Structure 1
Amino acid sequence: MIRSSFTLIVYALIHPYVTAGQPLGTPDPDYIEYPYGEPPSEAEVELGKKLFFDPRLSVNESQSCATCHNPDLGFSDGVKFSFGANGKKLERHTPHLYNLAWNVIFAWDGRDMTLEEQALGPIESKAEMGMSLTILPQRLGSIPGYKKLFKEVYNSEEITAELVTQAIAAFERTIISNNSPFDKYIAGDKNAMSPAAIRGLELFKGKARCTECHDGENFTDNSFHNLGIKGDDPGRAKIINDDSLFGAFKTPGLRNIALSPPYMHDGSKATLEEVMEFYNRGGDGAKNTSNVIKPLNLTKQEIYDLVAFMGALTDPVIIERPSLP
């Protein structure tokens, strides 16, 4: 089924993105708010999966979405900064893709209001995949296998960039993590987490004040904060033309966070221990640092316990790479 851009625009406008104060919990796939009012078909998801892994979506056929969002590396890439198809280094660390089905605003700076927009951005970005949206439909249309699949899924003789990103977003909404030791623990299995992780959970909610930003079922308030990382990246300020948000970036979800080092928007923290040490000292004093960032006075043991808890959010999503047309 072909869904209209108008539907996506309405969905983006009515969907609030600040969700601070939500209790920790387990996301339920039965309660995904699909922008089109119904879940995608299995055929649409499979088409999106093929497109996600296909390097022919980049200008020189060298990179796919999965090049940077590698399922073997926690749907990130394991490096501080990736390189675009043109060989130039990107300016921000690649975020993971877990549980985007419940996300309500996308990218480090929140420039995308829908998952479809987020899927399209890297494809046409000259810094990333660099693909012309005029050439993309022509290239895919010249591949008999894709022509057949788009006809079967969308009943359309024409392949468009909009349909490409609709299919990719359909696949990305199936990348769901909700059966970690933490989920089993809160469901009643008190042996699912280690004693250190249990202590870490209490610190996470209490002394360490993590839930001021990392709350809800996916451990994010979907909002933007300057954490005190020094640098000249304007972040959210550039998107909404508000200098008070200079250096503010979206709170990342923490599902499977142990699988996707390094951390922060600039990849400046190699390990979760380094992340916690950064927060423990109250950031690094950058201008406009959020007032939620304050020294925590955590002991070494408490830092280890917090890291143990974040490890208990691990529920790897196994994705088999598809055969391509």
Structure 2
Amino acid sequence: MGDRAQDNRLRRRAFRPALTVPFLAALCALASGLGLAQAGRSAPPELAGEAVRSTKAAFRRPADTPFPGTNPFSPEKEALGKALFFDPRLSRSGSVSCATCHNPSLGWTDGLPRAVGFGMEILPRRTPQVRNLAWAAAFQWDGRADSLEMQARMPITAPAEMNMTMDLVIARLKAAPGYAPLFRAAFAGDDPLNAGNLLAALATYERTLVSPRAPFDRWIEGDEAAIGPDAKQGFALFIGKAGCSACHSGWRFTDDSFHDIGLAVTEDVGRGAFAPPSVTAMQHAFKTPSLRELRMQGPYMHDGQLPDLDAVLEHYARGGEKRPSLSFEMKPLELAADERRALVAFLQTLKAEPVPVALPHLP
């Protein structure tokens, strides 16, 4: 038990901010107040006011998108990054771009149980979401990249994915005359068309991919009619009885941490491949995905092993497979049919109306 407790403390300290006691109290207050409202009773005065406001504030969208000082935003860099994101010349076959797997028409993913790589090879993991990553603290399902710039290189150079070298990518772009002026407009220096600037431009464009305002956002901002009573009950369950917000926290509904949620074991140990063996909690642990823009038809989890939301809710109700690395947040619970429907109704409020994406003119 001592080793397990140490594992959990290490995980919390390394990968997510601690939840404060006042914030947890506010969550409980809001959940209780919403639950009373669904029962047709008024919440006690002590549940109103600052507790509710501070809890809702934890789920409020930020006003601005952050960009690192080492790679500040510019419209020219965004335009270059967008062209690169949609350009299949970044792959060895010349037929696969970043947008092939992160397709805006499919919610910036591919809709497949698992990604398809070079030579039509089925990869072991699903294509992750690419939106709202400007706020992320770790990247990839196993967190092996600590910046979007680092992450941008990985699929390009992975033999099983785009199967390229950065030298060959740069040679191809230099052979396309239209790219040189785009790089000169976005970056200073005598020879701006280089690998570092390519990755910086891709990361800049990806940071601009932010989910539009959803009905949940309007409710958080004070529009009580923005979501229905069933969704409000679902949110009360989400932050209360069901305990979902222990990991799916904040406006992006992720703690950017890694958890073993007790899925069927495969050879893929996730974060465990990059953590010391003594950190048991990281074995079979994968990054908490955001629930924003959730594809309601599935599949779900890092490897697509759960086909639909019914299977997901049943998995969490059972509490997952018991093993030493199982996250301490995973506990069996009883969820009635109406409670499951309410949770799904709440998840629906995190979806925004899609915004058309104009395809770039490629050099």
TM-score, normalized by length of structure 1?
0.90
Q: What secondary structure is seen at the aligned counterpart in 1 of 2:96? A: coil
Corresponding residue for residue 268 of structure 2: 233
1:148 pairs with 2:181: yes
| Mapped contact 1:106–1:115 kept (Cα < 8 A) | yes
| Mapped contact 1:234–1:248 kept (Cα < 8 A) | yes
1:38 and 1:29 map into 2 onto residues whose CA distance is 20
Unaligned 5+ runs, structure 2: 1-13, 24-54
Deviation string for 1:252-300 (max 9, x for gaps)?
1111113683210111122223211211111244552212111120011
Which runs of structure 2 are paired with 1:58-97 in the superposition (5 Å)?
58-97=91-130
2:18 and 2:227 map into 1 onto residues whose CA distance is 26
> Which of 16, 19, 35 is the matching residue for 1:18?
16
1:286 and 1:50 map into 2 onto residues whose CA distance is 46
Unaligned 5+ runs, structure 1: 1-15
| Mapped contact 1:203–1:306 kept (Cα < 8 A) | yes
> Which of 71, 83, 90 is the matching residue for 1:57?
90
Corresponding residue for residue 314 of structure 1: 351
> Which of 202, 209, 220 is the matching residue for 2:254?
220
2:95 and 2:323 map into 1 onto residues whose CA distance is 38
1:260 and 1:171 map into 2 onto residues whose CA distance is 28
Shift of 1:317: 4.3
% same residue: 43
TM-score, normalized by length of structure 2?
0.81
The 1:38/1:127 distance shift into structure 2, 3 A limit, reads: closer
Number of paired residues? Answer: 310
Shift of 1:104: 1.0
Corresponding residue for residue 6 of structure 1: none
1:158 and 1:312 map into 2 onto residues whose CA distance is 44
Q: What secondary structure is seen at the aligned counterpart in 2 of 1:104? A: coil
Deviates more, 1:60-69 or 1:250-259: 250-259
Question: Which entry has the higher C-alpha Rg, 1 or 2?
Answer: 2
Q: What secondary structure is seen at the aligned counterpart in 2 of 1:128? A: coil
The 1:18/1:166 distance shift into structure 2, 3 A limit, reads: same
1:322 and 1:100 map into 2 onto residues whose CA distance is 21
Q: What secondary structure is seen at the aligned counterpart in 2 of 1:191? A: helix
1:20 and 1:258 map into 2 onto residues whose CA distance is 29
Corresponding residue for residue 8 of structure 1: none
RMSD: 1.9
1:273 and 1:228 map into 2 onto residues whose CA distance is 17
Question: 1:269 is matched by which residue type in structure 2?
Answer: L
Corresponding residue for residue 237 of structure 2: 203
